[in-house]
Structure 1
Amino acid sequence: MKNIVRILSLCLFVFLNSCSKDSATDINETTNVYVLNTGYDTTTNNNYIQLWKNEESVNITDKSEEASAQRLYVSNSDVYILGTRYNPVKNKNEYKIWKNGAELIVPENVEFTDIFVSGADTYLLGYDYVKENIVLYKNGEVTYITLSASKYEEETKAKMFGRYSPAVRVRVLGKDVYVLGSESNGTSGVAKIWKNGEPISLTDGNFNAYPADLFVTTNNDTYAIAREYDGTNYIPKLWKNGRRVEKFIADVNFVPVSIFVDGEDVYVTGHTKIANNVYVAQLWKNGQTTDLGQGVFYSYASNVFVKDGKVYVSFQERNSERNYISKLWIDGVVTNLSSGKEDFYAQGVFVE
């Protein structure tokens, strides 16, 4: 069970060979940088959740209990963490939310994938595997997004890198609520964006599509990334306002993970397989790709965030001891957030 959780933490999961530093630099005194980590304790053989903020770390869960981080959101200095914790009585992982370290109650039988906070409203997106529907909770009240099951063949799932859920992201702008996910047409999964409950199909449904992330600008422009199978390969794709952007990554090995839009600049993080069969984390910006990892050992990006012109990317990279190091990339400078003596997975970065 614990090995499975470690793999899922890695899979939940982008740049020039940069010099590594022991501490973060160029962080403005008025800027708070948060990185969510899943650490591994070799003494207890448990994963645990850790929050890194401005060079200081605090453990959200105890090392004596199995837990794994998933999503991070910060609103007015309130820190929300979505993750799982193992329940030995029920012998299963249960989804949890921590607000400023305090655990909140969440519904059962739902595989939660995202959290978003807008003003006083908290949104939780997930997949109800009993009713087989994408569900959205707003302050505890549920809305069913899909009316049909979003199922995929296990063989097709196994071909994808990492675990997949048909519920992916929720974003809120004013009174408009956007949900990214996928819905079955009977034979394939169709990538869709639901705006206030109304679906917009991104793919035609001839093959399975696996959406990864969604960004909504202040002008209500929507950007979505996904991989779509074409009968031979999984093709990375980008959409703006429901229309595919043709000038995107041509590398069929690239797995898009996160997207951020700042003005006219579009940033996408992910990972690809290079010549030596090593996966390397990468950042794509307006047609230019930068390696984050050195390409010697495996590296994987989690997400990208842009604030006041600075670009922040969280990722993890394996060292010569085969342990993953949590890392933060800021405008080309890489900071190690863990020692490398134990596995640490960077699950996300948020800047406020």
Structure 2
Amino acid sequence: MKKIFLVAVSIVLFSCSKDHSATETNTEKSVYAVGQEYNGTNSVAKLWKNGVATNLTDGSQDAMARSVYVSGNDVYVAGYEENGTNDVAKLWKNGVATALTDGNHRAYATAVYVSGNDVYVTGYEYNSNNMGVVKLWKNGVVTDLTDGTADAYAYSVCVSGNNVFVSGRESNGTKNIAKIWKNGVATSLTDGSEHAEAKSVFISGNDVYASGQVSNGGPYVAKFWKNGEVTAFTDGSYQAAAESICVSENDVYVAGYEYNGTKSVAKVWKNGVATDLTDGSQYAYANSVCVSENDVYVVGTEYNGVGGEDGFSVAKLWKNGVATNLTNGTTDAYVSAVFVK
């Protein structure tokens, strides 16, 4: 099985505040995507605007951009950069980085969301016992959402009114429990009898949506929850993941992937009905979905089969199912999140 291309943190799949729905009627849209590209030595954190790349880091250390949010004229990106010893959680505003952690322990900013004048970032930091602690930063001030006695990770953040929602997982000692924290109070989406994680959270009206995957020992099943009620997208025959969720009016979109017995196929589900974004001839993963008016944007990665066992991973953007390459496929690249303004 081809491993997903990641640097430094193999246990993390994809970020999560990966899902935003735009409702503007302005026909001029800008499409933002973030991720990383290998420079031959390290991975460089990148921002693409309408397909044009900007480096967020200089390539001297491994770095990755995990989430993007645009508010007014300001572009916020969450991610991390290594300091030579540990990964440091970072927030870039218009390309200028601010460290959220001191670098004494490995830490990762996985999602950013802007509400009014407040900037929310979620992620996790390992403690001295090597346990991941879920963190929420509001305007740079950190709050721990878990106590560090059990391994925990956060992938996505969404704000609705005065309520702040974070999705992720926390171990019960034997299994990972999919969880949502609302204003710091945790709700379990699974009962702890199966491995599970909530990769993405989205609020629409009074409804709380989350997507993720659950395994009872076999392949992971792609699922989503609406107000705690679960729906499965896949039957468990093959490994699958639901990485990102976005709701537009009455339609629920989920981006992810499912193996076909040989390769992983990038997919987007609309109200539970799957559309393949790739043909299954190469490994591919859909990581983030955003809906703007009637257009559905998905970003992800597809290997090109060139220059090795499976080739290089190419960062891709699909608009209404039509693919555009963000990188040229001569080196490994990965795109984790999309935002349309």
The more displaced of 170-179 and 57-66 is 57-66
Code of the residue aligned with 1:31 in structure 2: it is K
Rounded Cα–Cα distance in structure 2 between residues aligned with 1:227 and 1:286:
17
In the TM superposition, 1:240-255 aligns within 5 A as 240-245=226-231, 248-251=233-236, 252-255=238-241
Rounded Cα–Cα distance in structure 1 between residues aligned with 2:121 and 2:222:
26
How far the C-alpha of 1:65 sits from its partner, in A, is: 3.7
Residue 337 of structure 1 pairs with residue 326 of structure 2: yes
Pick from 194, 208, 213: which aligns with 1:207? Answer: 194
How far the C-alpha of 1:105 sits from its partner, in A, is: 2.8
SS at match of 1:149: coil
How far the C-alpha of 1:60 sits from its partner, in A, is: 1.7
Rounded Cα–Cα distance in structure 2 between residues aligned with 1:37 and 1:185:
31
Which residue of structure 2 aligns with residue 115 of structure 1?
Answer: 112
Q: Which runs of 5+ in 2 are unaligned?
A: 16-25
**Residues 88 and 100 in structure 2, CA contact (< 8 A), matched pair in contact too:** no
Scaled by the length of structure 1, the TM-score of the pair is: 0.82
The more displaced of 323-332 and 105-114 is 105-114
Q: Which runs of 5+ in 1 are unaligned?
A: 14-27, 152-164
How far the C-alpha of 1:99 sits from its partner, in A, is: 0.7
**Residues 79 and 108 in structure 2, CA contact (< 8 A), matched pair in contact too:** no
Which residue of structure 2 aligns with residue 149 of structure 1?
Answer: 149
CA RMSD of aligned residues (A): 2.4
Which residue of structure 1 aligns with residue 135 of structure 2?
Answer: 135
SS at match of 2:146: coil
Pick from 94, 102, 117: which aligns with 1:100? Answer: 94
Q: Deviations over 1:225-281 (max 9, x none)?
A: 1222224343322110112235x3324421111111111111111111113x11111
Pick from 289, 306, 310: which aligns with 1:304? Answer: 289
| Cα gap change, 1:318 to 1:6, in 2 (>3 Å) | farther
**Residues 199 and 242 in structure 2, CA contact (< 8 A), matched pair in contact too:** yes
Which residue of structure 1 aligns with residue 18 of structure 2?
Answer: none
Residue 195 of structure 1 pairs with residue 182 of structure 2: yes
Q: Which has the larger radius of gyration?
A: 1
How far the C-alpha of 1:330 sits from its partner, in A, is: 0.5
Scaled by the length of structure 2, the TM-score of the pair is: 0.85
How far the C-alpha of 1:10 sits from its partner, in A, is: 9.4
Which residue of structure 1 aligns with residue 77 of structure 2?
Answer: 81
How far the C-alpha of 1:194 sits from its partner, in A, is: 2.0
How far the C-alpha of 1:6 sits from its partner, in A, is: 7.1
How far the C-alpha of 1:150 sits from its partner, in A, is: 2.8
Which residue of structure 1 aligns with residue 35 of structure 2?
Answer: 37
Which residue of structure 2 aligns with residue 47 of structure 1?
Answer: 43
Rounded Cα–Cα distance in structure 1 between residues aligned with 2:100 and 2:88:
9
Which residue of structure 1 aligns with residue 20 of structure 2?
Answer: none
Rounded Cα–Cα distance in structure 2 between residues aligned with 1:237 and 1:296:
25
Rounded Cα–Cα distance in structure 2 between residues aligned with 1:318 and 1:10:
19
**Residues 150 and 189 in structure 1, CA contact (< 8 A), matched pair in contact too:** no
Bigger fraction of residues in helix: 1
Identity %: 40
Rounded Cα–Cα distance in structure 2 between residues aligned with 1:198 and 1:190:
15
How far the C-alpha of 1:111 sits from its partner, in A, is: 3.3
| Cα gap change, 1:236 to 1:120, in 2 (>3 Å) | same
**Residues 254 and 270 in structure 1, CA contact (< 8 A), matched pair in contact too:** yes
**Residues 149 and 184 in structure 1, CA contact (< 8 A), matched pair in contact too:** no
